[in-house]
Amino acid sequence: MARAVTTQHKTIATAAAWIVALLIFFPILYTIITSFKSEQEAIQGFALIPSGTMESYAEVQAQSGYFKFFLNSVILSVGSTLLAILIAVPAAWSMAFSPTKRTKDILMWMLSTKMMPAVAVLFPIYLIFRDTGLLDSRIGLTVMLMLINLPIVVWMLYTYFREIPGEILEAARMDGASLWNEIIYVLTPMAVPGIASTMLLNIILAWNEAFWTIRLTTTNAAPLTAFISSFSSPQGLFWAKLSAASTLAIAPILIMGWFSQKQLVRGLTFGAVK
């Protein structure tokens, strides 16, 4: 460094950054704090120290079958991600390793489906789901979420696979490896980190998807997005319970998100910013 960072400079920057960060994080922090209050406390004005009661959590669990919704969220997000990976890996694979003239066009077209507004197809999809009995079914919604995220999955895998050097494949081939051996012993180990990152980001996206999951479900297949939305018509004050339910709904994904910052940049910018 040409210039030593002065302690004063660092102190000011640190203070400013922490203040801004805490302000941004505040709504989440306050939700967590409120979840440990009683309903009485929750509306008694601003207070950062809760009494520490767990009654809201107990009530959320007891009423309305909270864990059914939680389970649905897990099934839908993990299931749709696995399904998407299964379908996308071969596609991304062949586009990365044996690209043709049309590879770019196919990738762009896939991306363009992502830009189609969901409302434009709301009614046809609704009809199709209703007439095939898929409305409010986990299978239907899993497929739906898979399709929504498929373009991102293909793209992310494509950008990861493209970084695997082709020479390694040639070397393996020279050594007499069959296509099958090549895939299992050479490519798969190198592709695992990329696939894992892709899965992580897509579980997050599927978990938070809040259009189809709300519109195509009622009770059986309803995940946490639908459950939380049902709190929107207030019958009395229930903020501690709302906070407890919200905390449970966002905690797992928040923690996963913290580990996926880098993949997030890559996945959501389609490799345009690294």
Partner 1 sequence: MATQQTRSLARFMIAPSVILLFVWMIVPLLFTLWFSFQQYNPLNPIRNGFVGFSNYALFYSNPAFLSSILNTLIIVVSVLVITVVGGILLALLLDQPIWGQGIVRILVISPFFVMPPVAALVWKNMIMHPQYGVFADIARFFGAEPIDWFGQHPLTAIILIVAWQWLPFATLILLTSLQSLDGEQKEAAEMDGAGFLSRFIYLTLPHMSRAITVVILIQTIFLLSVYAEILVTTNGGPGYASTNLPFLVYQKALLEFKIGQASAGGVIAVILANIVAFFAMRAVGKNLDK
Site for partner 1 in 34-93 (CB under 8 A): 34, 43, 45-46, 87-88, 90-91, 93
Residue 135 DSSP label:
T
Residue 197 CB, shortest distance to partner 1, in Å, is 15
Q: Where are the beta strands (DSSP E) in the chain?
A: none
Q: Does 140 bind partner 1 (CB under 8 A)?
A: no
- Identify the residue among 49, 52, 62, 119 touching partner 1 (CB under 8 A): 119
Give the tokens for residue 183: 């895939």
Total residues binding partner 1 (CB under 8 A) = 96
Q: Does 147 bind partner 1 (CB under 8 A)?
A: yes
Distances (CA, A) of 92 to 98, 103, 184: 10, 10, 16
- Between CA 193 and CA 254 the distance in angstroms is 21
Residue that the structure tokens 């696979």 belong to = 161
**Which listed range, 5-13, 49-57, 64-72, 182-190, lies at the site for partner 1 (CB under 8 A)?**
5-13
Residue 262 CB, shortest distance to partner 1, in Å, is 8
Straight-line distance from the first to the last Cα atom of the chain, in angstroms, rounded to the nearest whole number: 24
**Which listed range, 12-20, 55-63, 131-139, 184-192, lies at the site for partner 1 (CB under 8 A)?**
12-20
- Between CA 68 and CA 66 the distance in angstroms is 5
- Identify the residue among 195, 222, 244, 249 touching partner 1 (CB under 8 A): 249
Asked if residue 203 lies in contact with residue 78, where contact means CB atoms within 8 angstroms, the answer is: yes
- Identify the residue among 114, 132, 163, 184 touching partner 1 (CB under 8 A): 114
Cβ neighbours of residue 217 under 8 Å, at least 6 residues apart?
A: 135, 136, 141, 223, 226
C-alpha angle 109-112-114 in degrees, rounded to nearest 5: 125
Residue 54 CB, shortest distance to partner 1, in Å, is 19
Q: Does 123 bind partner 1 (CB under 8 A)?
A: yes
Cβ neighbours of residue 25 under 8 Å, at least 6 residues apart?
A: none
Chain positions 187 to 226 lying near partner 1, rule: CB under 8 A, are 204, 207-208, 210-211, 214-215, 224-225
Residue 273 CB, shortest distance to partner 1, in Å, is 5
With b meaning 16 or more CB within 10 Å and e meaning fewer, what string describes 8-46? eeeeeeeeeeeeeeeeeeeeeeebbbbbbbebebbeeee
- Between CA 220 and CA 112 the distance in angstroms is 32
For residue 209, the number of C-alpha atoms closer than 13 Å in the C-beta half-sphere is 31
Q: Does 235 bind partner 1 (CB under 8 A)?
A: no
Q: Does 236 bind partner 1 (CB under 8 A)?
A: no
Binding mask 151-180 toward partner 1 (x if CB under 8 A, else -) reads x--x--------------------------
- Identify the residue among 8, 49, 62, 115 touching partner 1 (CB under 8 A): 115
Residue 5 DSSP label:
P
- Identify the residue among 111, 164, 177, 190 touching partner 1 (CB under 8 A): 111
Residue 122 CB, shortest distance to partner 1, in Å, is 6
Q: Does 250 bind partner 1 (CB under 8 A)?
A: yes
Residue 27 CB, shortest distance to partner 1, in Å, is 5
